[in-house]
Structures are given as C-alpha cells and as structure tokens.
A and B are shown apart, each in its own frame.
Chain A
Amino acid sequence: MFDADAVRAPYSGLLDWSRNMPQELRSLKQNEAEALFRRIGITFAVYGEGGSPDRLIPFDMFPRVFQADEWARLERGVKQRAKALNAFLVDVYGRGEIVKAGRIPARLVYQNEAYETAVCGIVPSKGVYAHIVGIDLVRTGPDEFFVLEDNCRTPSGVSYMLENREIMMRMFPGLFQENRIAPVENYPALLRRTLASVAPAKCDGTPRVVILTPGHFNSAYYEHSFLADMMGVELVEGADLFVEGDFCWMRTTEGPKKVDVIYRRIDDAFIDPLCFRPDSMLGVPGLMNVYRSGGVNICSAPGAGVADDKAIYTYVPEMIRFYLGEAPILKNVPTWQCTKPEDCKYVLEHLDELVVKEVHGSGGYGMLVGPRSDKATIELFAQKIREKPWNYIAQPTLALSTCPTFVEEGIAPRHVDLRPYCLVGENIDLVPGGLTRVALTEGSLVVNSSQGGGVKDTWVMAE
C-alpha cells in the first residue's frame, strides 16, 4: 500500500480518518470491538498451545481496501482456479486424462495420502467436488497476486469475514456512508443456495441441507453454529444422523427427516467408520454407501483434498491450461519440491532465504521462515529435510504487500494476506470480500492466527 512512502489512492481518505481519530476514541472503539467479539462468542482455540480455549483473535480496525477493477481481476482469477480444481478432481477420480497426457506425474496423484480410492468412479452432483474453495493470496505489486495455497476441503474463517464487517458497520457507520463498499452479508444465503443446487440425483422436492460438526469441543464450533444460524439450517453431529434404506436421516422430535445435502466440517477420515477410520465416533456408519448411490451429497466431497495438496499445487496452472484452455490469471509462487534431488539440493543451500513448509501441514506450524530464523534453527530444519525430503516444499520469501494497521505508536504498515471464499455449485460465485489476516508483529510474514496474527475487515469498493 505504500508507494514510495505515499499510500495508494484507496487508502488516502482512510488515513485521514485514522489520523484524525483521537487516542481516547481509538482505545474506546478497540475495547468496544473486543467486547462485541466476546459477547458474540467468537473465540479461537489454539491447538497445542494449551491456555484458555476462549482466546480472541486480535481485530484491527483499519480496513483492507480493494478497488473495483482490482477486485474484478482477482475475482476472474479465483473463479478460474476453482473451476480448474474441480475439473481436476472429476478427472483424477475418473479417467485420469491429465495423468495420461503426462502433465502431472501419476505418483503425485495416485500415491498421494489425500487421494481417496473409496470415491473412484463417482461423479458427484453437477460434477463438483470442492464446493467452497478458499484461496490464500498475497499481493506483491499493483497487479501482481500470488496464490500461496488452495483449500478445497473445508476452509474456515468465513465467519470472521462476516462478523468483522458487522462490527465495523456498528462502530463506524459514517465510513460506510462516505464510501461505497460492496456488501458481503448475502454469503450465507449464497452458500445455502449453492449447497441446495448440488442436491443428489434421488432428491425430489426442496433439498434439506445440514451442517455436520465434530461437536462443541472443536475450535471452529463457533463458526459452524454461526453459519447454521445464518443459513437457517440444522447443525448436526454424527450421532444425529443415521442411515436406513437408501437414505440418510436426521433424528428430530417429530421423527426421522431425510437429509439431502451435508456440508461437513469434519475430515474425510471421520465421515463413515464403515468406510474410513473404524474408530471414528464423529461420522455416520453407512453414509458412504448412500453417497455412492446418489441418496445424499457430501460437501466437500470425500477425496477433494488431493487437489489442495501442497505437492499438487505446483501443477494448478497446468490444470488451468489443460482443462480450460486459458492462461492462468493468478500466479503460483515458485516452489521447490524437496522430493526432487536437484530441488532439495538448492533448498538446503538457500535455507536462509526461503520459506520451508510441510507438504501436509497447515496453520503455520512446522514451517521455517529462513530470513527470520537463527543459524541453529536453520540447521535443525536442514536435518529434518534430509531425513524426510518428500515431506517438504520451499518457496521464496515474497515482498508481501502491507496495509496500514493500528499499532502502539499510531499507524504503521503490516504484512497481510487474503482468503476469498469461492462457492461452486450450479454457478460459481464469489462475494466481494474475504478474510484479511495481518501479521501484527513488525516485519513478520506469518499471518496465522495461531501464530499471533490478527484479522481485518476487507472492503471492495463498488464501481
């Protein structure tokens, strides 16, 4: 956002707004925001850190802004990517044309941990495997966006997109009168419509959609219940569902009700103990049989994870060319696969300038940020890479864009990323907004909430 010490156009008005805000008002508003978050109950449990499960993610009041034309381009890119990822999934669980054409190594697909043989040969309703695609982006220049990773399973965080906006509108109604900001509040309705549009073959009448949660001990339980509430659908646990005959039913006070579409927020392995992990208490025994025979749809489809694997990621531009015959609009970050000997050699030699991630890791855990690590840490990591090269990929540290952020001393630039949520059903939709995460520590590039990142409201200016 800082062009040679000047801020870009969309921010100039906001900068005045923030500079004119007296210190007392600022802390008053910050406290108000925090109280609102606590009151609504948006909290966040950090895995492996212990401490209070009722922790809040820090909220920064300075919004992230996109102009209409910037967003339009981004939107085309995100939709293009979501379309290609789905085409890839239908292909690799079907004829495997992309592998036969030699565009992706067979080993990477079929021996991938996330490749699910149980769904081979299934074409889900409307040919969609990944119904909610969260694409993590960073910006490095005026028109340059890089995709960090794709999330095809059950990307979380969308409740923040909605609540951050809600809180900003409540605290600063004036800003919304002065600026024409595209609304995001129809996301839940759009999500419900998307899920209803992929009702299974055997569903006649209005499809009944439910959200399947692992339960109230899950760290994202708030989001599950929030979405169910906003969509007006039931929030169910595995034990609330059962299979009888060719269908899946929900236990209600009026007797069983047929369920047509399950938006599941549990991992593949737990969906059906008869098909996947036999010790799973979270899933529904027999569900996969109903799914296979078109009695119910599961969103995202089991097996969708193979498309967002970090090793497959490298080939997404290839997918776009192969399935859509288009040039990729969003760029991939150049990636070294440590499983390739020559790449591994390069990575080990340049650890101090690279970011190294685990192939299946997420949440900012188990990663190395070379330029910000000391020699001992780097040496330790090199050891890990030598032991299990296939477990790691590496990327250059990008010159991430920054966004003005409230800090102790006033306003300062902090690094941000963006996750828009693309909905894929009969249509492909993208609400104008997303989750902006911000690295609150000066100079830090890690935006994960588990690693001290915060969130911001994301504005797309209407034309």
Chain B
Amino acid sequence: MLSRTAENLYWIARFVERAETNARLLEVGARNALIPNTGGGYRNDWESVLQASGGAVGFAEKYGDIVQRNVETWMFFDRDNPNSVASCIEKARENGRIVRTALTTQVWDALNIAFQEVQVFARTERSRLSLSDLTDWTLRTTALVRGSALNTQLRNEGYDFTNIGHYLERGDSTARMIDTKYFTLLPQISFVGSGLDNYQWRTLLRAMSSNRAFNWAYGGDIGPPKIVHFLVLNRACPRSLISAVEGANDHLDRLARAYGRSGPAQTKVRAMVGELAEMQVDDIFDEGLHEFLSRFIGDIADLAGEVHGMYLSGDVR
C-alpha cells in the first residue's frame, strides 16, 4: 500500500478519535462546573480541561480569560484550534476524500455527513445549541464513522493502519482525561477522598461512558485505586490504557506477519504491553499518577514516531 494512503487512513482514525476526546473533555468540564465552588482554593476546572486537551496556550493567546462559552467555542468550533471538533472532522473528511477509493461508501458517507452537519452548526445561532447537544452529536457521529469502518472495511493492511491510529489516539486521550483530574486536584491534596473528590471521579467515568460499567465491575464503591485500575490496567474497559496498547499491538503484529518484517514499532509496543500487564495500581501511585501518565503519553508519541518511520513516511528501505 502507498505510504501516503496508509498515512491518510491512520490520520482519519486519529482525528475522529480526537474529536471524540474533545467532546468528552467538554462534558467533564461542564459537569464539574456545576458543583459549587465551595472549596475556594482550587483552580478553575475549565483550565484543567484546556490543559488536558493541550490547547491551553493557544486559548490564552486568543481569548485570555477562561470563560465557559469561550472554551466551548475554542474546543468545538474554532478553526484556529487544530484540535477542535470542527477542525478534526474537517481534516478527517479531507483525508477521506484523498483516499476516497480506499473507503467504503458507508465510511465516506459518515465522514461526509459529519462534515456537512458541522457546517450547519457553525451557521446556527449559538443560543440554540446546548453543550450537551454538541457533545452528544460528536459521540454519535464518531461512533458512526468507527462503526462503519469496523463493519464494512476490507480487513487488509489499510484496516490495520486505521486501527493503529485509533488505538494510539485513544490511549493518548484516556491518559489525558485522567490527567484532568490531576490538574484539578493539584493545589489542594486535602480534597482527596472527600465528597467533592468522588464527584469529580464520577464525572470522569461518566465522560468516558463508563460510569455504569464501573459499578458492575467494582461494586459501586469508588476510590482512586479502583478507578485508576479500571482506566489503566483493566482489559475489560474499552478505553483503558492497556486495551489501547494491546489493540495497537494486535494490528502491528498483523502487519509484521503480512509483510514478513518486524521492526522498532513492534519492539516498542511489546515493551509497553509488557509493562502494563505486569503493573499494579500501587506502582502507579508510587511513581505518581501525573508522572506515570506523562511518561505514558510520551511513550505513545514515541510509538507513533516509530510507526511513522516504519510505514508512513515512505522512507523505509
């Protein structure tokens, strides 16, 4: 397969997943903003959302003060934000148009319709769009693209590149979302274990559509170790870090078999799977949750670099 085609497919998946992450982050922020600011000292929750999305600097330059409405604009509509939902959907659709013949009609329709609908939102008066409408729409739309790809795409190398993009972005995204919690808590460690703390953890689970799943798996009693276990180490959770890394591993394995050639990307992903498989929750807290997550985000970036070098750059010999 042409390296450029593989790259386009990989980025379609990443952009779609990224749009979804942004919508979920917005949901976390909106829910957290509903609790009264009784603690006084802790930082604005919206800032943690911006930090986690990686767009805090760009936002500060354009808007200055953090106001919910501006955050919504920045993260959903703003074309100046390369990671806004609108930017991601537009880029995913443009990538799709370039490799139109590598996509089934269903996948193309899903991307194309998403793009048309974003245009409609952009022309609609903002007071008529609630944040939950926007986030619901994003989750529905990205699920449609992903579902169409899973149901209809040929199971060839292109399918592997699509999935590798999807899993890498998802691992990155989950790590960033757990990290919002860290940003929120940072100044006031005394909140840990308080009612407010639990509320925030719940919000995080909700944002990952995992609130009820967690109840079933852990019996409803909430606490940081269980939640970290669920979102990092539990294979049953579709958004956990280990699920993401193992997903990437499966598809890199398939490529290695198909091409009869294994390389640094496979080595890297195996090391990551190996580490997570052995890891205990205590190890994570010993390292420090934020430190662990930062390292994980760095590892995902390295892995993406290896995938790019081995397959997507076209420089491989």
Query: Interface of A with B (CB < 8 Å)?
Result: 39, 41, 215-216, 225-226, 228-229, 234-237, 239-240, 250-256
Contacts and interface: CB of A to CB of B under 8 A. Distances in A.
B49 interface: no
A199 B109 CA distance: 38
Interface in B79-111: 94, 97-98, 100-101, 105, 108-109
A410 to B, nearest CB: 35
A225 B259 CA distance: 26
B12 interface: no
A256 B311 contact: no
A228 B3 CA distance: 16
Given A252-B314, A254-B259, A225 B100 contact: yes
Interface of B: 1-6, 94, 97-98, 100-101, 105, 108-109, 157, 161, 255, 259, 261, 311-317
Nearest to B259: A254
Contacts of A239: 4
B2 A252 contact: yes
Given A240-B314, A251-B315, A253-B157, A228 B4 contact: no
- 6 smallest A-B Cβ distances: which pairs? A251-B314, A229-B101, A253-B311, A251-B3, A216-B98, A253-B6
A240 B4 CA distance: 7
A251 B1 CA distance: 9
Given A41-B97, A237-B4, A254-B259, 17 more contacts: A39-B105, A41-B108, A215-B98, A216-B97, A234-B2, A236-B4, A240-B2, A240-B3, A240-B4, A251-B2, A252-B2, A252-B314, A253-B161, A253-B255, A253-B259, A254-B316, A255-B317
A39 B317 CA distance: 39
A119 B110 CA distance: 47
Main secondary structure of the interface of A (DSSP, over half): mixed
Contacts of A234: 2, 5
A169 B1 CA distance: 33
B153 to A, nearest CB: 15
Contact of B317 (A41, A229, A256): A256
Contact of B2 (A41, A216, A225, A250): A250
Interface centre among A41, A239, A255 (most CB of B within 10 A): A255
Contacts of A39: 105, 109
Contacts of A229: 101
Contact of B101 (A228, A237, A252, A253): A228
Interface centre among B3, B108, B312 (most CB of A within 10 A): B3
Given A250-B2, A251-B3, A254-B259, A235 B314 contact: no
A253 B102 CA distance: 15
Q: Would you call the interface of chain B mostly helix, strand, loop, or mixed?
A: helix
A215 B101 CA distance: 14
Contacts of B313: 251
Nearest to A226: B101
Nearest to B101: A229
Contacts of A236: 2, 4
A169 to B, nearest CB: 18
Contact of B316 (A225, A226, A228, A255): A255
A132 B6 CA distance: 30
Nearest to A254: B259
Nearest to A244: B317
A383 to B, nearest CB: 44
Contacts of A250: 2
Nearest to B158: A253
A254 B256 CA distance: 10
A253 B108 CA distance: 23
A387 to B, nearest CB: 43
10 contacts: A216-B94, A239-B4, A240-B2, A253-B1, A253-B3, A253-B6, A253-B157, A254-B259, A254-B316, A256-B317
Nearest to A38: B112
B3 A235 contact: no
Nearest to B160: A253
Nearest to B258: A254
A245 to B, nearest CB: 13
A252 B100 contact: no
Contacts of B2: 234-236, 240, 250-253
A252 B1 contact: yes
A250 B312 CA distance: 13
B133 to A, nearest CB: 27
A216 B97 CA distance: 8
B232 to A, nearest CB: 31
Contacts of A235: 2, 101
A428 B101 CA distance: 29
A251 B312 CA distance: 9
A240 B316 CA distance: 12
Nearest to B315: A251
A241 B181 CA distance: 47
A16 to B, nearest CB: 36
Contacts of B314: 240, 251-252
Nearest to B100: A225
A255 B105 CA distance: 29
A334 B261 CA distance: 64
B265 to A, nearest CB: 11
A76 B275 CA distance: 72
Contacts of A251: 2-4, 313-315
Contacts of B97: 41, 216
Contacts of B259: 253-254
A225 B311 CA distance: 22
A254 B161 CA distance: 13
